[in-house]
Amino acid sequence: MIIAVTGTPGVGKTTVSKLLSKRLGYEYVGVKEFAVERDIGEKVGDEIEIDIDELAEKMVEEFKGKNVVIDGHLSHFVPSDLVVVLRVHPRLVAERLKDRGYSRKKLAENVEAELIDVILVEALEENERVIEVDTTGKTPEEVVDEIIGLIERGVKKRVGIVDWSEAYDEVLPYLNLGGE
Ligand code: DAT
């Protein structure tokens, strides 16, 4: 089974994906490493701008019929058996990305994306089976337990479990309203 773990940067994808793959005995694959190794996309400075169609094609080619956890904020573009969308309170996205040294602009973009469900909406457009997990206040182990529980119960879709509209005022200072 191909499980894609997606979400806004800083939400905890890598932490959860590595633990989940270990618990299930699945292979772990990071989208970025995969794309860099296979030269999928264009290099823009230190970053790689991943070609999504090529990524999806190459990943299916390589992992079809295998048990794999794919980690990355583009993983929901890969045809998968299950997409897990991790969510976290936007304040935590801001704090974690600030610690990572993100620019103000990038920080604002990602806080806003979490606030308005950007990745969830994309995931729902791309895949049938989407489950959303709120990681706020949970340890990575608890998040993985919840994912495994949902898989074991055969849950096909579980979305709409968070609403960050109440968080808007709190994260307003991080947003880049009307600015460049
Ligand atoms: P991502 O891969 O989505 O960018 P990450 O796994 O690198 O996120 O995690 C970002 C930071 O948050 C990292 O310092 C670990 C921490 N973290 C991840 N999941 C957590 C959780 N459930 N509880 C507390 N901290 C967590």
* The amino acid at 12: G
Distance CA 110, CA 149 (A): 29
Cβ-proximal residues to 53 (8 Å cutoff; 6+ apart), any chain:
none
In a domain, 94, yes or no: no
- Ligand 1 pocket test, pick from 15, 86, 88, 89 with the greatest ligand atom count within 8 Å of Cβ, gives 15
User: Residue-wise pLDDT tens for the chain (180 aa)?
Assistant: 999 999 999 999 999 999 999 999 999 999 999 999 999 988 888 788 999 999 999 999 999 999 999 999 999 999 999 999 999 999 999 999 999 999 999 999 999 999 999 999 999 999 999 999 999 999 999 999 999 999 999 999 999 999 999 999 999 999 977 765
In a domain, 66, yes or no: yes
Distance 155 CA to ligand 1 centre (A): 25
- Ligand 1 pocket test, pick from 8, 18, 96 with the greatest ligand atom count within 8 Å of Cβ, gives 96
Closest by Cα among 136, 138, 144 to 71: 144
In a domain, 110, yes or no: no
135: CATH: 3.40.50.300
Q: Which domain holds residue 144?
A: 2-88+127-162
8-state DSSP, 174: G
pTM: 0.96
Q: How many independent structural domains does the chain possess?
A: 1
In a domain, 157, yes or no: yes
In a domain, 176, yes or no: no
